């Protein structure tokens, strides 16, 4: 029985190794038009509560309020599904968990997938002369790929 199990395990195909998390954010492509940038400010009060309760840093003063900008890395499958979410500079474990769960729970399908078209400007000598449609099939990666974006939270500590 053990020999049969060993043969079955040996015959099982091994999944391709996932790419390692990049260390240099500037080398990671930005997810253009991702909904999370527009929706994340709605979560500001929840993030503020977690931020005040935990041992957190990183929020900076902004026009009488506090602004927290978190860079987020996403490991996306070929069809645009998030495989991993890594808030990079949250400096607060509770906020990192909250952001990851909220993105997976409410924005898991917000990444571009097969069949969606992207309209990009066509530039000549620094001037836009029109637009070109590009479908996801034209530029879809052949395996999991790291992408990045940012979420922003703004809150006031005033009474």
Separation of alpha carbons 109 and 121, rounded Å: 25
Neighbours of 147 (CB within 10 A): 20
Residue 97 has pLDDT above 80, yes or no: yes
At 53-92, the pLDDT tens digits run 878 889 999 999 999 999 999 998 888 888 899 999 888 9
What is the rounded distance in angstroms from the CA atom of residue 84 to the CA atom of residue 145?
A: 10
The structural domains of the chain, with segments of one domain joined by +, span: 29-113+141-155
Reported pTM? 0.69
**Burial (0-12, 13-18, 19+ Cβ within 10 Å), 15:** exposed
Q: How far is CA 9 from CA 5, 6, 14, 20, 88, in A?
A: 6, 5, 10, 25, 37
Q: How confident is the model at residue 8 (pLDDT cuts 50, 70, 90)?
A: very low
Measured CA to CA, the distance from residue 130 to residue 32 in angstroms comes to: 19
| pLDDT tens digits, 106-128 | 777 667 654 444 556 666 777 76
More confident residue, 37 or 70: 70
């Amino acid at each position: 029985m053990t020999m049969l199990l060993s043969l079955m395990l040996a015959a099982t195909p091994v999944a391709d190794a996932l790419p390692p998390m990049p260390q240099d954010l500037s080398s990671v492509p930005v997810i253009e038009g991702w909904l999370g940038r527009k929706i994340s400010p709605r979560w500001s009060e929840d993030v503020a509560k977690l931020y005040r309760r935990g041992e957190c840093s990183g929020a900076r003063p902004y026009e009488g309020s506090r602004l927290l900008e978190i860079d987020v890395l996403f490991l996306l499958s070929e069809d645009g599904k998030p495989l991993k979410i890594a808030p990079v500079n949250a400096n607060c474990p509770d906020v990192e968990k909250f952001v990851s769960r909220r993105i997976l729970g409410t924005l898991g399908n917000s990444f571009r997938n097969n069949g969606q078209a992207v309209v990009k400007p066509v530039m000549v000598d620094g001037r836009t002369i029109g637009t070109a449609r590009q479908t996801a099939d034209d530029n879809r990666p052949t395996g999991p790929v790291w992408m990045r974006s940012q979420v922003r939270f703004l809150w006031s500590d005033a009474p």
